Amino acid sequence: MDWARNLLFIGVVVGGLTTLAANLLPPSEPAPVSQYVAPSYREPDFRLTVVRADNAFRKDWDEKSLNHSELATNLIQIRRVALGLMGTIPSLEEIRQIEALPADQQMPWWIDHVLKDQRFHDYFGERLARAFVGTEDGPFLQYRRRRFVTWLSEQVARNKPYDGIVRELIAGDGLWTDHPATNFITVTVRPEMKNEPDPVRLAGRVTRAFLGIRLDCAQCHNHPFTEWKQADFHGLSAFFAQAHLGFRGIQDGDGAYEAEDRYTKTKSVIEPSVPFLKEHLPANGARRDRLAAWVTHPKNEFFARSTVNRVWAIMCGKPLVEPIDNLEPGVQIPVPLQILADDFAANGFNLHRLIRLIASSEAFRLDSASKYEVGEKEEKAWAVFPLTRLRPEQVAGSVLQAASISTINAETHITIRLLRQIERSNFVKRYGDTGEDEFEGRGGTIPQSLLRMNGELVRDRIGGSPVNASTRISLVAPNDPKAVEVAYLTILSRRPTPKETTYFEQFLNEPGLGRSDKLADIYWALINSTEFSWNH
């Protein structure tokens, strides 16, 4: 057995040395790209939708007499796309590759590059999972959240039509391990429900996550502020009454949904029914199949609107309509949202196309700063890009990427990726997860600021380790101005102003600490700057 232990030890040492060497060597040059022709952005119907949405925003600004900001620089827009779709900032390596392209081709190339990236698939899958099943672990035996997120990631990578994804979630059969979509159903299993799915919780999740309406507020009584009736909610719940948990997983069988009268305490059987667009509910088929067809029907405007509102919020940090699940009848729907929703439904609920449209819109590309005085009215109307605080996983992902010259992605050495994942998870736990209420406005806290300033993640990633970006910049930058420029690009995804360059160049020339230690101090200052911790 001694030889086996020795062999294992040698393997670990060799693996560690290989990883260290890979990080000490200069990153390999990315594949050169000098031209990028993207036909999808030039298609007449694509351009027409972008122009119509832009014109609708501009009309609103004119009617409200609002000034709008100028377009942000390409690097700022690129940072927004990376944060919204991958939960991290772009790497220096990626910025170099982007800047090799003509200016008008940089954003199309970057968007399409991100859509193919595993970081996007995984991050977007997790963001969707939060809306679909929440963040709790659920029942231990009947629920596998990680498997569910992996499945969502695979659907996003394939660009499976969104209506097909949702139909599988609502009507899927089988074991939660072999058919991960059924975790949408099994997450509601509770002992008090005799280990059966909870129709009430499922109806509430369907209406909020897929339709953007709070029909569950009518569970106990008629909704006080909208047209929803208690019978509407119970009618939707009844669609799940025949979903049962057995040896083969989720299967449909017999069963009736009973609702208790809150006054008489008597129970009555409720038949499945929908609160609107009844003509689009199939007359035949299993209950969940019928509901899935109705929810995702192209004529069900709530479905397309809700999806556009959520994807917009994921990319921009806040939705077009707040709260995100408040697209109730009577709520004024912004014209640009309706334009995007119509395009989404007309083009087969194509998520990648929707993302391209949003990223191509003027509202997404505007600067968050303006030469005019701007305030809440301008932000609410999207006349300037709204400032939003980075989410915990975005902070952690950005710190880890800023500490590396090369891109941390699916091609990175497995050892590095595992270490980064552990560091990221530990940071998010201490920083505080946002939970299900993803777009609730929350201010930063003192503990969060202290964690960024003194926490283990930042301290370890900016220190004098030879694998950290600050050390490598100090070794390879030909002069101090270049070192400052590379640090800014790596951390803030922009170049420093002349004033910033002068200030930090003087700092690097002061006696005392060595250049590597001083660059580590610059790293610390930039990571703890307000600019780093906000999407702008």
Q: How far is CA 233 from the centre of its chain?
A: 29
What is the pLDDT at residue 430? 66
Is residue 278 one of the residues assigned to a domain?
A: yes
Is residue 40 one of the residues assigned to a domain?
A: no
What is the pLDDT at residue 264? 65
- Under 8 Å between Cβ of 186 and 245: yes
CATH of the domain at 507: 1.10.3130
Is residue 142 one of the residues assigned to a domain?
A: yes
Q: Whose structure tokens read 């122009």?
A: 51
Rounded Cα gap, residues 205 and 325, in angstroms:
10
Is residue 465 one of the residues assigned to a domain?
A: yes
243 membership: H or E segment, kind and range? strand 243-246
Please state the φ and ψ torsions of residue 409, each to the nearest 5 degrees: -145, -165
Is residue 535 one of the residues assigned to a domain?
A: yes
The model carries a pTM of: 0.90
The last residue of a domain, from among 267, 295, 323: 295
User: pLDDT tens digits, residue range 470-498?
Assistant: 778 878 888 999 999 999 999 999 999 99
Q: Are residues 392 and 289 in the same domain?
A: no
Q: How far is CA 333 from the centre of its chain?
A: 23
The last residue of a domain, from among 273, 295, 317: 295
What is the pLDDT at residue 152? 98
Q: Are residues 129 and 275 in the same domain?
A: yes
List the one residue out of 445, 402, 438 whose CA is nearest residue 420: 402
Q: Are residues 402 and 287 in the same domain?
A: no
Rounded Cα gap, residues 83 and 219, in angstroms:
37
List the one residue out of 114, 36, 20 whose CA is nearest residue 410: 114
pLDDT lower than 50: segments of the chain: 1, 4, 8-9, 11-28, 221
List the one residue out of 389, 379, 397, 385 whose CA is nearest residue 438: 389
What is the pLDDT at residue 437? 63
Q: Are residues 261 and 127 in the same domain?
A: yes
The last residue of a domain, from among 246, 275, 295: 295
Please state the φ and ψ torsions of residue 348, each to the nearest 5 degrees: 70, 30
Q: Are residues 126 and 237 in the same domain?
A: yes
Q: Are residues 286 and 393 in the same domain?
A: no
Sign of CA dihedral 97, 99, 104, 110: positive
Range of the domain at 147: 122-295
Rounded Cα gap, residues 294 and 477, in angstroms:
60
What is the pLDDT at residue 258? 77
Q: Are residues 268 and 407 in the same domain?
A: no
- Tally the residues of the chain: 536
Q: For the chain, first and last CA: distance in Å?
A: 58
Q: In sequence order, which residues have a C-beta less than 8 Å from that of residue 202 and are 6 or more positions away?
A: 185, 188, 237, 240, 243
User: pLDDT tens digits, residue range 302-337?
Assistant: 999 999 999 999 999 999 999 898 888 878 999 999
81 membership: H or E segment, kind and range? helix 74-86
Q: Are residues 391 and 533 in the same domain?
A: yes
Is residue 335 one of the residues assigned to a domain?
A: no
What is the pLDDT at residue 234? 85
**Could you tell me if residue 369 is left (phi over 0), alpha (psi between -120 and 50 degrees) or otherwise beta?**
beta
Rounded Cα gap, residues 314 and 129, in angstroms:
12
Q: How far is CA 50 from the centre of its chain?
A: 22
Is residue 234 one of the residues assigned to a domain?
A: yes
Rounded Cα gap, residues 332 and 320, in angstroms:
11
Is residue 265 one of the residues assigned to a domain?
A: yes
What is the pLDDT at residue 247? 87
Q: Are residues 149 and 264 in the same domain?
A: yes
Using CA atoms, how far residue 455 sits from 3, 152, 458, 459, in Å, is: 41, 32, 6, 6
Helix (H, G, I), strand (E, B) or coil at 24: helix
Structural domains of the chain, count: 2
Rounded Cα gap, residues 80 and 365, in angstroms:
9
Helix (H, G, I), strand (E, B) or coil at 46: helix
